[in-house]
């Protein structure tokens, strides 16, 4: 597939393919899309079409989260700079054209279910009050050819998609006519905002590191501090298959990994914002994180439904919105969250913050102590029978361990030591076979790549013979070409066809911990190569074609890349 560019204003995100905006939910990350061509050829788009034959298209990030597309035609070039401005439900496309071009502006509503009512340059939802307008401030000739198509001469200026939740509030309302908008100023001020983030550049893999950091920053919903797992829905694990899920939610696990990545990159304020948001979700009446995922505003997640009118990405049906994983019990998430809090404390020694939240941390440890014997759906959200997944038990132990360490740091009693020892003994008795960890208790002699996280999070030493035997079996059964790692061989839906990039980066982190730096760098070099020129990555990869599959970009992959690169630098610098 042609590369996809990602832009965000921390309210929503768009994906750009060549000269087309092919995905844009409005007004928020998890809203219905108005441009949906990514999931259906008739799903709506905002496309710039040069009048002459295209020879080459180049794309790169002109500024952070500002995508520049250079279109070289037989008669001249067109440059397009795409940006989502801060505080607005607007797309700005700054264009400098040496040749004429057309603009196909074809918005739709409710994921392309409803075609718009068109009044001049406004496109109105026939089943609602929201609308989107096509606006331009262009130094050149502009004329409309039909209801969705405009013809523009050579020139320069901005083309704008302006969304309003109500036709009486939009830019073309009476109010909007009084409060005029200058989109070129908005463009420039948003560039300044993204440029203001002081990234401590990596010594190696600089472009990959920078793109990863801004993917993390672009995943944050600024109104709450929640972080999405990915900005898309239903991009398939396998083209034509049915493993198609909606990731536009805040997963406790993913967000905790994202917070750690930001903390490793030096973004303490942003990492703490995510942690604060997650703290706000903890309840005292039951499991601390009652759901494994929440909306970006922190509310109960919606049900999973199928959008049967959409053909899906390259025929991959069904297209889903909402995520049924919200109905599962996932026991690892508290361990991931506590690890993020512990990382924040290690980096800042902020005892005031820790003490303010200690009742919630204690509740997590108390609940885990009482409930670690439960079965769950595991990190991979298996929709089959709940089991005693080894990784989940390890993360529960890590929750107890790190809350205990923070209690000691505050001069409080670590009252969970007995539960920790019982849980650890249970894991070593029930989750080990033939000298290595297995996927779940009392299972077959099968491993799972989630076990790679055991030394990363502190359950076991990386050079412990029990772990090295586990690593050896993972390398033999799940690693492809010494680089890419499958999660497991199969699950309730059958074979796991493609490697998973989170576990691939975990393998690199394990190699780094073992001092096998060249192996870790080989993985990074491969990821850098396949993600060039935009350095964005999906959830899975087809190693034969070198193409990403699954939702895109996958935020926790980028978070782990940030941590890997910073850890490698720390090791190199002693």
The structure tokens 């007004």 sit at 27
Cα atoms in the 13 Å half-sphere on the side-chain side of 341: 33
Q: Give pLDDT tens digits along the chain (574 positions).
A: 678 999 999 999 999 999 999 999 999 999 999 999 999 999 999 999 999 999 999 999 999 999 999 999 999 999 999 999 999 999 999 999 999 999 999 999 999 999 999 999 999 999 999 999 999 999 999 999 999 999 999 999 999 999 999 888 777 676 667 667 899 999 999 999 999 998 877 788 999 999 999 999 999 999 999 999 999 999 999 988 888 999 999 999 999 999 999 999 999 999 999 999 999 999 999 999 999 999 999 999 999 999 999 999 999 999 999 999 999 999 999 999 999 999 999 999 999 999 999 999 999 999 999 999 999 999 998 888 899 999 999 999 999 999 999 999 999 999 999 999 999 999 999 999 999 999 999 888 999 999 999 999 999 999 999 999 999 999 999 999 899 999 988 766 666 789 999 999 999 999 999 999 999 999 999 999 999 999 999 999 999 999 999 999 999 999 999 999 999 987 777 6
The structure tokens 């680089």 sit at 483
Residue 553's nearest CA partner among 513, 516, 501 is 501
Residue 561's nearest CA partner among 531, 524, 530, 529 is 524
Query: Are the beta carbons of 288 and 238 closer than 8 angstroms?
Result: no
Count the Cβ atoms, other than its own, within 10 Å of residue 409: 15
Give the separation between CA 109 and CA 35, rounded to whole angstroms.
Answer: 8
Residue 35's nearest CA partner among 79, 66, 4, 70 is 4
Query: Are the beta carbons of 517 and 509 closer than 8 angstroms?
Result: no
Give the separation between CA 228 and CA 219, rounded to whole angstroms.
Answer: 5
Residue 254's nearest CA partner among 556, 30, 504, 539 is 556
In three-state secondary structure terms, 67 is strand
Residues 6 or more apart whose CB falls under 8 angstroms from that of 528 comprise 205, 207, 208, 535
Give the separation between CA 374 and CA 368, rounded to whole angstroms.
Answer: 10
Full 3-state SS string of 191-237: HHHHHCCCCCCCCCCHHHHHHHHHHHHHCEECCCCEECCCCCECCCC
Give the separation between CA 302 and CA 294, rounded to whole angstroms.
Answer: 9
In three-state secondary structure terms, 138 is strand
């Amino acid at each position: 597939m042609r590369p996809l560019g990602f832009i965000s204003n921390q309210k929503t995100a768009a994906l750009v393919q060549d000269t087309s905006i092919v995905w844009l939910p409005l007004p928020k990350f998890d809203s219905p899309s108005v441009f949906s061509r990514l999931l259906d050829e008739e799903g709506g788009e905002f496309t710039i079409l040069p009048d002459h034959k295209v020879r080459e298209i180049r794309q790169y990030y002109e500024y952070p989260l500002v995508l520049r597309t250079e279109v070289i035609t037989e008669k001249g070039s067109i440059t397009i700079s795409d940006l989502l401005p801060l505080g607005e439900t607007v797309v700005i496309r700054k264009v400098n054209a040496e040749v004429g071009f057309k603009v196909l502006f074809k918005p739709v509503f409710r994921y392309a279910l409803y075609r718009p009512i068109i009044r001049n340059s406004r496109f109105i939802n026939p089943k609602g009050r929201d609308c989107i307008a096509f606006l331009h401030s262009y130094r050149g000739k502009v004329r409309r050819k039909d209801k969705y198509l405009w013809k523009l001469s050579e020139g320069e200026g901005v083309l704008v998609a302006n969304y309003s939740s109500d036709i009486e509030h939009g830019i073309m309302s009476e109010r909007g006519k009084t409060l005029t908008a200058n989109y070129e100023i908005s463009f420039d001020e948003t560039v300044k905002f993204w440029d203001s983030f002081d990234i401590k550049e990596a010594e190696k893999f600089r472009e990959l590191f920078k793109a990863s950091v801004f993917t993390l920053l672009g995943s944050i919903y600024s109104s709450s501090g929640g972080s999405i797992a990915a900005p898309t829905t239903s991009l398939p694990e396998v083209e034509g298959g049915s493993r198609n899920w909606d990731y536009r939610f805040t997963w406790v696990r993913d967000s905790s990994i994202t917070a750690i990545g930001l903390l490793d990159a030096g973004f303490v304020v942003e990492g703490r914002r995510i942690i604060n948001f997650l703290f706000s979700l903890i309840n005292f009446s039951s499991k601390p994180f009652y759901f494994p995922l929440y909306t970006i505003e922190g509310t109960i997640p919606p049900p999973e439904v199928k959008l049967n009118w959409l053909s899906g990405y390259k025929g991959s049906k069904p297209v889903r919105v909402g995520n049924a994983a919200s109905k599962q019990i996932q026991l690892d998430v508290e361990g991931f969250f506590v690890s993020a809090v512990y990382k924040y404390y290690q980096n800042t020694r902020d005892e005031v913050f820790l003490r303010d939240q200690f009742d919630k941390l204690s509740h997590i440890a108390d609940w885990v102590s009482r409930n670690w014997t439960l079965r769950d759906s595991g990190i991979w959200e298996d929709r089959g029978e709940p089991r005693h997944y080894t990784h989940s038990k390890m993360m529960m132990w890590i929750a107890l361990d790190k809350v205990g360490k923070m209690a000691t740091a505050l001069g409080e009693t670590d009252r969970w030591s007995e539960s920790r020892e019982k849980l650890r003994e249970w894991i070593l008795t029930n989750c080990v076979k033939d000298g290595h960890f297995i996927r779940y208790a009392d299972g077959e002699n099968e491993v799972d790549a989630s076990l790679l996280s055991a030394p990363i999070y502190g359950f076991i030493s990386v050079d412990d013979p029990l772990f090295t035997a586990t690593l050896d079996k993972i390398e033999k059964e799940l690693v492809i070409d010494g680089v890419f790692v499958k999660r497991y061989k199969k699950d309730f839906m059958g074979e796991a066809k493609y490697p998973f990039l989170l576990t691939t980066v975990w393998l690199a982190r394990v190699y780094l911990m073992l001092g096998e730096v060249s192996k870790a760098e080989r993985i990074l070099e491969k990821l850098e190569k396949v993600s060039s020129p935009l350095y964005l990555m999906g959830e899975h990869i087809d190693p034969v074609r070198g193409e990403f599959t699954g939702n895109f970009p996958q935020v926790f992959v980028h978070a782990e890349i940030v941590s890997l690169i910073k850890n490698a630098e720390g090791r190199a610098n002693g």
